[in-house]
Structure 1
Amino acid sequence: MNLPIEFEKKMKAFLGNEWDDFLYSYDNNRFQALRFNTLKVQSQEERMRILKTLKISSEKKVSWANEAYYFDENVRPGKHPYHEMGLYYIQEPSAMSAAALLAPKPGMRVLDLCAAPGGKSTQLATYLGDSGLLVSNEINTQRSRILSQNIERMGIKNAIVTNEDSFVLASHFPGFFNAIQVDAPCSGEGMFRKLPEAIEQWSMENVAICAARQKEILDNAAVMLKPGGTIVYSTCTFSREENEDVIECFLERHPDFTLEEMERFWPHKVDGEGHFVAKLVRRGSVDTDLKADRKTKKNKNSKNRKNETKPALTKENMKLLSEFLDETISEDMAAWIKNSRLVMFGEQLYRLPDMEVDIKGLKVQRAGLHIGEFKKQRFEPSHSLALALKLNDAKNVVKLTWDDPQTTGFFNGQSVMLSDEQAAECKKGWALVCVDGYPAGWGKVNGAQVKNHYPKGLRNKI
């Protein structure tokens, strides 16, 4: 691998007699791992069954992350139906260390400040469960859409995805969060093996630019953290200027913080591409009260940034929603949806997280759980809702197995044909299509045929 000359000089000076080991690590194959989504796959027995199906060894665990396993390059878990249903997330192993270090508790308000594509956010959500609040932010609009798709795939109910600058969020959420993840944009030295273009884009000038940006982002994160709260800062670069120096500068500027833990994951020492993590704790007592007082500042540009929301449903829309829920969804889940804060974005219906949060004036990609869309005299459920449900949450279910040829057809947009026995069990109308007991999407039953409602943009991936 042709590494930048300035990078080699810097790393030789930094690593000393470890330089050769570090350099030789580039000759190894990349490490890959999947992390189970415990919001969906909750039993150890089921995780072992899925690993066996995927032909992945249960012995190759990622030691620093819960329920994460290495897999060989000849295994393709990203092409399996289980991946499309959000049963696991494929992630670079050492990158799993940051969320594991933050490890928020259920009921907390958590911010992932630089969240795309979603690896750390989806990992943080497994710590929160269905309680608390997760705000996942990404400044890049296109990447924020990818982030939102991954939040959807993993069936996360209590997340809001925003598309903002960290300064805007800091002016909106002062002293609001219990825990903040800052996986800062960096020079990407740990991405050289994965992305050859990262080598071409590297320069000492870019390192300096990244370090300045990282300091600004951390300062904004500090504004949003409650007393007793925690920030975990991480990068996928080896640069001291972007790691230890940034933390040292932050502590000088914020004497109310202490450095509790700091660690480097070097590619010649661990089975991963490399990562830097630091845990910063603000002095004071942690407040996880769901009804804690909240004060927010109005964004100066809010007049130009308002979401077109309607706070309540019309009688007609509530009637259409109730009809769908009564026919299709279990009583408990229907109540969970109806007895909540529902909001309209145009004709799209969202269920806001149970923990109150003010999103007025922010650019929002996803305002909690997308329930569905009102069309001409009907309600059409969203793919997000399907993936957030469990098998028992639906009254009408079409059951498939992963190795059934119709399963691949379903993910590619084809209708499902029911056997006589299945057709007798399924009522006409909306049905939750499940594979091995896990929701995959919606279908509409009409006799022995189930019309496919799997999103067109997600088809042909397996």
Structure 2
Amino acid sequence: MNLPIEFEKKMKDFLGDEWEDFLYSYDNNRFQALRFNTLKVGKDKGIEQEIAGIMDKLGIPMDKKVTWADNAYYYDEDKRPGKHPYHEMGLYYIQEPSAMSAAALLSPKPGMRVLDLCAAPGGKSTQLSTYLGDRGLLVSNEINTQRSRILSQNIERMGIKNAIVTNEDSFTLTAHFPNFFHAIQVDAPCSGEGMFRKLPEAVNEWSLENVAICAARQKEILDNAAAMLKAGGTIVYSTCTFSKEENEDVIEYFLNEHPDFAVEKMERFWPHKQDGEGHFVAKLVRRGELLLDEDAYPQEKSDVLSEDITGKRKPSGKCAGRKNKRSTVKEAGGISKDNMELLNEFLDMTLTDDMADWIRNGKLMMFGEQLYRLPDIQVDLKGLKVQRAGLHIGEFKKNRFEPSHSLALALKSNEAKNIVDLDIDDSRTAGFFNGQSVTLGEDQIQKCKKGWTLVCVDGYSAGWGKVSGIQVKNHYPKGLRNKI
């Protein structure tokens, strides 16, 4: 690989005798790994036993674990687990191995309020969600609009119920969430030196000037993160670059500016020392007592505003008519009596009592005709751009309620009354993911009632179907078909 001359000189000076080993790592194969989603895997059986069964069907041996992350394993490039139905069902997330170190270092506890400040495409957010379980709040933010949509799709695929996806800069978030979060992940935009093998274009974009620009931006983002963190809280700062200016120097700046913080741990992952592309992580802890029981938030501030959920933009207030200003859409509203009747009919016929009650007793909000259940820890998002406000339950159409794919992927098979369970090797399984109807077998005809049914594969939720006679009409989203 032809590395930038200035990069080589800088790294030779920094690494000394290790330079040759570092350079040699560019000639090796890239390391790839997958991390299992414990929101879906390991609930009914022992986690090791369940993972072993899935890995066997993927044809991937379990002989090499990612030692710094839970339930993560390396795999050979020819296995292509991203093309398997299990991937589309959110049983695991494919992630660069060393990048798994950051969320593992933060490891938030259930019930915490957690912010992933630079979250796309979602590797660290989905990993953080496995620590939270279904308790607490995860705000996943991405400043780039297109990348925030990809982030939202991954949140959906992994069946996360308590996440809000925002599309903002760190200054705007700071104004909304002062002294709010218990834990913050800052995977800062960087010069991407650890991406040279994976993305050759990163080599062409690298320069000393860009390193300096990135370092200045990283300091700004960290300052804003500090303003959003509660006393006793934790920030984990990470990059995928080797630059001292963007790593140790940024941490040194931050500690000088914020003397109420201390470094608990700081570590580099090098491609010539660990099996990964490289990463830098630092755990910063604010002094004080961390109070985890302050989950109440003013209910009157739950009038969430959204841009992308409704698909419309409606300027209002002082921002109306001004160019280059952020504007918001109409306020979300509560659910009407007629719609509540339609929802209750669906819930009573389709879901178990406990799951139905979890939905109907939560904070339900309408965005146009779309229904969302907000996280139990509610926040004031007025004026923010929101891609996903908790769990998307479904859409009200003329005289009926249609459940969302998000709801399907958030359900366990034992939370639905009507189930069609397919085997991974069944020819109908591939057909379902490609949009085909499912013909019921004789045993399934006896079990399935007319109406909405949760289609599962090997006991894991895959999507919705609608039973009519011996056929299950396919409701797998058209935009996700033909990926397998």
Q: Is the 8 A contact 1:105 1:127 kept in 2?
A: yes
Q: Secondary structure at the match of 1:90?
A: strand
Q: Is the 8 A contact 1:173 1:224 kept in 2?
A: yes
- Looking at structure 2, the residues matched to 370 and 79 of structure 1 have their Cα atoms a distance apart, in angstroms, of 25
Aligned position for 2:156: 152
Aligned position for 2:33: 33
Q: List aligned pairs for 1:179-190, cutoff 5 A.
A: 179-190=183-194
1:292 Cα offset (Å): 5.1
Q: List aligned pairs for 1:114-133, cutoff 5 A.
A: 114-133=118-137
Q: Is the 8 A contact 1:30 1:273 kept in 2?
A: yes
2:271 is the counterpart of 1:262 = no
Q: Which runs of 5+ in 2 are unaligned?
A: 306-316, 321-325
Q: Secondary structure at the match of 2:14?
A: helix
Instruction: State which of 386, 394, 407 in structure 1 corresponds to 2:429.
Output: 407
Aligned position for 2:76: 72
Instruction: State which of 467, 475, 478 in structure 2 corresponds to 1:445.
Output: 467
2:236 is the counterpart of 1:214 = no
1:422 Cα offset (Å): 0.9
1:207 Cα offset (Å): 0.6
> For residues 267 and 134 of structure 1, do their structure 2 counterparts lie closer, same or farther at Cα, with a shift above 3 Å needed?
same
Aligned position for 2:293: 289
Aligned position for 2:351: 329
1:242 Cα offset (Å): 0.5
Amino acid at match of 1:266: W
Q: Secondary structure at the match of 1:356?
A: coil
Q: Percent identity?
A: 77
- Looking at structure 1, the residues matched to 95 and 250 of structure 2 have their Cα atoms a distance apart, in angstroms, of 25
- Looking at structure 2, the residues matched to 310 and 178 of structure 1 have their Cα atoms a distance apart, in angstroms, of 27
Q: Is the 8 A contact 1:228 1:281 kept in 2?
A: yes
TM-score (norm 2): 0.93
Q: What do the CA deviations read for 1:359-405 (whole angstroms, capped 9, x no partner)?
A: 12110000000000011111100000000000011011111011111
Q: List aligned pairs for 1:174-253, cutoff 5 A.
A: 174-253=178-257
Q: Secondary structure at the match of 1:115?
A: coil
Q: Is the 8 A contact 2:467 2:473 kept in 1?
A: yes
Q: Secondary structure at the match of 2:118?
A: coil
Aligned position for 1:347: 369
Q: What do the CA deviations read for 1:231-269 (whole angstroms, capped 9, x no partner)?
A: 000000001111001110111111111111100000000
Amino acid at match of 1:250: F
Q: What do the CA deviations read for 1:48-99 (whole angstroms, capped 9, x no partner)?
A: 1111111112120000000000001111111111100000000000000000
Q: Secondary structure at the match of 2:372?
A: strand
- Looking at structure 2, the residues matched to 14 and 145 of structure 1 have their Cα atoms a distance apart, in angstroms, of 38
1:418 Cα offset (Å): 0.7
- Looking at structure 1, the residues matched to 262 and 476 of structure 2 have their Cα atoms a distance apart, in angstroms, of 49
Q: Is the 8 A contact 2:234 2:286 kept in 1?
A: yes
1:172 Cα offset (Å): 0.5
2:87 is the counterpart of 1:63 = no
- Looking at structure 2, the residues matched to 68 and 211 of structure 1 have their Cα atoms a distance apart, in angstroms, of 31
- Looking at structure 2, the residues matched to 210 and 291 of structure 1 have their Cα atoms a distance apart, in angstroms, of 35
2:16 is the counterpart of 1:12 = no
Q: Secondary structure at the match of 2:463?
A: strand
Q: Is the 8 A contact 2:35 2:94 kept in 1?
A: yes
1:302 Cα offset (Å): 7.7
Aligned position for 1:425: 447
- Looking at structure 2, the residues matched to 157 and 290 of structure 1 have their Cα atoms a distance apart, in angstroms, of 20
- Looking at structure 2, the residues matched to 173 and 335 of structure 1 have their Cα atoms a distance apart, in angstroms, of 30
Structure 1's consecutive aligned runs of 4 or more residues displaced over 6 angstroms after TM superposition are 293-296, 298-303
Q: What do the CA deviations read for 1:81-129 (whole angstroms, capped 9, x no partner)?
A: 1100000000000000000000000110000000000000000000000
How many positions carry a matched residue from both structures? 461
Amino acid at match of 2:119: A
- Looking at structure 1, the residues matched to 15 and 318 of structure 2 have their Cα atoms a distance apart, in angstroms, of 47
Q: Is the 8 A contact 2:185 2:236 kept in 1?
A: yes
- Looking at structure 2, the residues matched to 93 and 207 of structure 1 have their Cα atoms a distance apart, in angstroms, of 24
> For residues 235 and 63 of structure 1, do their structure 2 counterparts lie closer, same or farther at Cα, with a shift above 3 Å needed?
same
> For residues 160 and 50 of structure 1, do their structure 2 counterparts lie closer, same or farther at Cα, with a shift above 3 Å needed?
same
- Looking at structure 2, the residues matched to 413 and 313 of structure 1 have their Cα atoms a distance apart, in angstroms, of 31
Q: Is the 8 A contact 2:297 2:378 kept in 1?
A: no
1:307 Cα offset (Å): 4.3
Aligned position for 2:22: 22
Q: Could you tell which deviates more after superposition, 47-56 or 15-24?
A: 47-56
